[in-house]
Amino acid sequence: MKATTVRELIEAQAAARPDAAYALATETGAALTYRELAAGSRRLAGWLARHGAAPGDTVSLVMPNGPMTLRLLLGAMAGGRCVNPVNLLSQPDAMRYVLEHSDCTLVVAAPDWADRVRTLAAGLSCRVAVADPDALRLDDEDDADAALVPPPTAPGDVALLMYTSGTTGRPKGVMLTQANLVANAQSIVAEHALTPADRVLGVLPLYHINAFAVTMLAPLAGGGSVAMAPRFSAARFWDQALGARCTWLNVVPTIVSVLLDAPRPEADLSHIRFCRSASAALPPEHLHAFERRFGIGVIETMGLTETVAPSFSNPLDPARRKPGAVGRASGCEARIVDAALQPLPDGSTGEIVIRGPNVMKGYYKNPEATAAAFTPDGWLRTGDLGHRDADGFFFVTGRIKELIIKGGENIAPREIDEALLKHPAVLDAAAVGVPDRHYGQEILACVVLRDGAGCSEDELRTFAVEVLGRYKAPRHIRFVAELPRGPSGKVQRLRLAELVTG
């Protein structure tokens, strides 16, 4: 019987290949077998209960990559909890918002995050526990719990609550069910022809849907394994991939760009079957340069948090790929619609919509946003403009939503606007994404100063770093006399970059 829940995936692999490695830590060599994953997941169900998280509750994780992070995410879902991996790049107010809005009953934090999380969670109805992401076992796990059988989980149960930035600046909690997660993991396995012999290098953070679905769940569904790295390091990347005998790579365009500027390893890379790129558009020149330099084919894909990451993929066969295309619909249906939400013929530009088993249940505690996200006949509106060619390949040409995608991170322009407006010299401000070689997009802020106010670009950038953090602070600041606005008074962001560069 085909698995429909995360627990079924774990138990099936533990029965089929108990002594095979599921996860390998790149820096320590510590391994986690499928037998240990299954037994550990049952122990974790008891551990979570003792720490106040019952089946059906939400458990938030404030942890970087590591074997224990994998165990906690998978074990919590297998035990019927909903996991909420918190973005470590969040500013304190955004992180507190997520912890409060998610209604989590337990937050598990890495040791170096524990004090900050306790401060942020003060006054909230949740407990805080501490876990070392690099450990294979928690100090207070009870071996007796390994024999326990947690309550059953249903395919329709919400297993993942992942927050994604929106154009309003307030993140929305995407509800993904057990069935959503398993269906997409199985689709990735089929799309890339993954087998138990395959191992992926995991350098992307598990609090992103890409790593959560592709790095963590796809190997589980295929019986393969993941070489888990603490984070991406250009200096360590190829040593990690070669040392762990990885057969495929999962990256974002920023990593492709950085690797092109780093030394090429002298070792043979022929055992690496392909490199998969997602989360943002990969410039065709980078794709071709990567393939030439490393001899590894690149598969471009695209997806959303709302679709458990990949919903489009180029084929595994290099001869059938189309550089510049996000690929064909993978594990779901997709089509192009006009402004009236009616289907358009191939070659016509419109909004890309998706329907299938990977599509979210909705946004947590936000019925209005949920209703707005779907067409009346049940298709998810992506907010992406594009077209489909006669071969069924989709091409993205723009975004209806105005998110800035920097290195795979979704950044809401309004969040940057509001931060800049806190400076006493700033009268008006609007941010937009502009092309960047390494990050795909960088942040440009156009600023209108108050009459008689003096403020330099460096001063305003320093202020933005203090308020937003270095990652979200605009790299480019341009002072303008006024911002372009439409009849309703809304800033026309797409004109900002044109005004500055034109």
* 145 within 8 A of 157, measured Cβ to Cβ: no
* Lookup: tokens for 211: 């790593």
In the prediction, which pLDDT does 501 show? 61
The span from the CA of 344 to the CA of 335, in Å, is: 8
Return d(Cα 172, Cα 107) in angstroms, integer. Answer: 19
CA distance 73 to 403: 28
Dihedral (C-alpha) 382, 383, 388, 394: value to the nearest 10 degrees?
-60
Which pLDDT tens digits describe the chain residue by residue (502 residues)?
799 999 999 999 999 999 999 999 999 999 999 999 999 999 999 999 999 999 999 999 999 999 999 999 999 999 999 999 999 988 899 999 999 999 999 999 999 999 999 999 999 999 999 999 999 999 999 998 888 888 899 999 999 999 986 545 688 999 999 999 999 999 999 999 999 999 999 999 999 999 999 999 999 999 999 999 999 999 999 999 999 999 999 999 889 989 998 999 999 999 999 999 998 778 788 899 999 999 999 999 999 999 999 999 999 999 999 988 999 999 999 999 998 999 999 999 899 999 999 999 999 999 999 999 999 999 999 988 889 999 999 998 766 767 788 888 878 787 898 889 889 999 888 899 988 888 889 999 999 998 888 899 999 999 999 999 999 999 999 999 888 876 545 677 877 877 666 5
Sign of CA dihedral 212, 214, 215, 218: positive
pLDDT of residue 408: 83
Q: How far apart are CA 208 and CA 347, in angstroms?
A: 32
Residue 467: what are its φ and ψ, rounded to 5°? -85, -40
Total-model pTM? 0.86
Task: Check if the beta carbon of residue 2 is closer than 8 Å to that of residue 189.
Answer: no
> How much is the pLDDT for 454?
86
d(CA 120, CA 114): 10
Collect contacts of 260-265 with beta carbons under 8 A, ≥24 apart: 260/286, 260/289, 260/290, 260/293, 261/234, 262/234, 262/235, 262/237, 264/293, 264/294, 265/238, 265/239
CB count within 10 Å of CB 133 equals 25
What pLDDT score was predicted for residue 488?
45
Residue 245: CB partners within 8 Å, gap ≥ 6?
199, 271
Q: In this structure, which amino acid lies at residue 297?
A: G
Spatial distance between the Cα atoms of 111 and 169, rounded to a whole number of angstroms = 29
Q: Which of 269, 181, 243, 205 is nearest to 62 (CA)?
A: 205
Kindly state the DSSP code that residue 58 receives in the 8-state scheme.
Answer: E
Question: What are the chain's domains?
Answer: 6-388 (3.40.50.12780), 404-501 (3.30.300.30)
274: tokens are 């392909």
User: 174, 149, 179: which is closest to 164 by C-alpha?
Assistant: 174
- The answer to whether 410 touches 421, Cβ cutoff 8 Å, is no
> What is the reported pLDDT for 167?
47
Contacts with 6 (C-beta within 8 Å, 6 or more apart), sequence order:
74, 77, 78, 153, 159, 178, 181, 182, 217, 220
What's the 3-state SS for 355-418?
ECCCCCCEECCCHHHHHHHECCCCCEEEEEEEEECCCCCEEEEEECCCCEEECCEEECHHHHHH
Answer for the pair 175, 361: CB distance below 8 angstroms, yes or no: yes
